[in-house]
Every structure is written in C-alpha cells, then in structure tokens.
Amino acid sequence: MSGKEKTEITSKLFKHVLPDECNEAEKEAKTIPAEEVVEAVKSGKAVEIINAVIEGSLIFKSLIIEGEITIQRTKVVGHVDCSYATFKQVLNLESSIFESDVIFTAATLEKDIFLNGATFHGKAAFSDLTVMGVFYSRSTTFKKEAVFSGAGFKKRLISERAILKGKPTLQALRSGVMPNSPKPCLRTELASTAPRSRGLPSSTPRPLKGWPTF
C-alpha cells in the first residue's frame, strides 16, 4: 500500500494502516499500544493493522474472538498469548515479526490462519491447536523452538519453504480425512525434516520443503 495513513476506529473496526514508504523511525513514532488492540478484540471489533509497530503483550487467552484479525507486515514487541482462545473468523499474520514468544496452545481456529512470510524470534507453541480451515505457513521462519505436538488440522497444513532454526516438536499431529482415503494422511516429509542435513553446520537454517503438508 502507498499513499496516506489510514486510521479508522468505530464500533465495528479498529484500523491502522501505514503507507509502504514509512521508514522504521516513522513507524516507531506511531507505535500502537497492545492494550488498545486487546480491548478492540474483546469488544468484538474487526482488527486491521498493516505496516506498523505494536508495543506490549497481546493477551487473548481464553477469549472467544468474533471479529476478523489482520496484522500484516507489523512488528510485535511483546509476547502473544492466544492459548485456549477461539477465533471465529480468519486470522491473518502474514509477514509480521514477533520478537517474543507466541503461544497458541489449545486454541481453536474455525477458519483459515495465514502465517506466510512471518518471522518468530521466540518460541512458537501450537500444541493441541485445532484448525478447522487451512494453516498457511509458506516461507515462515521459526528462529527458536516450534511446537506442534497434538495439533489438529481439519483441512491442510501448507508450509512450503518454511525455515526452522530451532528444534521442531511434531509428535501426534492430526489431520482431517483426505479425499478417497479412509483415514488421516501424513506426508512422509514430516519425519525427514528434523535431522540436520549432512555437510551443513548447526547454524545453517533448514528449509523444510513443505513440512508437514496434509
């Protein structure tokens, strides 16, 4: 997006969109307090934040979130806790940067989640997550531990070109029944992504080539 800053706060919408040409200093000068985002979500508003900075912790633990949430190309300075939350609409976090831990333990997403191009600098915990739609994580970077143990995906998990620098925890992943298949299917790439490739130093990021895709 280019042009003017777009800010709109109504009874149904919390919107902050900065132009593409904004530099980091300009974004920092217009930092959005995390508590404002949390209050908007609690009140049922749709959230649209693009090309911005959010300062503080986003605590959505155990909430039933009615509005669609879009936080794209935004730096979140603080941890994110979505454990046990239920997201009724699409959750879009594409190309955002999360500087601390992000927790989705036992959360439920009734529609799709988009993590394409996002970067997680802290632990990313998706254990016991339930996704009724599609989990998109193309070109997502996990700098530390990524935990998916017990996570369930009704449709698909799509993660081509994802990069994992830490250790993955992938036990007991669950997927929906694939067409023409009597039971859940799991791609064999899952087991082959954890070991380090021969000849690569331990600091070399590992492209995951669609780990795991259902």
**In this structure, is residue 198 part of a structural domain?**
no
Mean pLDDT in the chain?
Answer: 84
* Type and span of the H or E element at 190: helix 189-192
Confidence band, pLDDT 50/70/90 cuts, at residue 21: very high
In a domain? residue 188: no
Burial grade of 214 (CB within 10 A; 0-12, 13-18, 19 or more): buried
Residue 25 lies in a domain: yes
**pLDDT at 191 exceeding the cut of 90:** no
**Residues 146, 122: contact at Cβ < 8 Å?**
no
Please give the average per-residue pLDDT across 78-93, as a whole number: 98
Q: Give domain status of residue 31, yes or no.
A: yes
Quick one: pLDDT at residue 125?
96
Residue pLDDT, tens place only, 95-154: 999 999 999 999 999 999 999 999 999 999 999 999 999 999 999 999 999 999 999 999
Range of the domain at 56: 6-177
Distance between CA atoms of 207 and 84, rounded to whole angstroms? 30
The one-character DSSP state at 177 is B
Asked if residue 190 is part of any domain, the answer here is no
Which contacts (CB < 8 Å, 24+ apart) does range 189-193 have? 189/213, 193/164, 193/168
Count of domains observed in the chain? 1
Provide the residue count of the chain: 214
Higher pLDDT, 5 or 206: 5
Residue 138 is assigned to a structural domain of this protein: yes
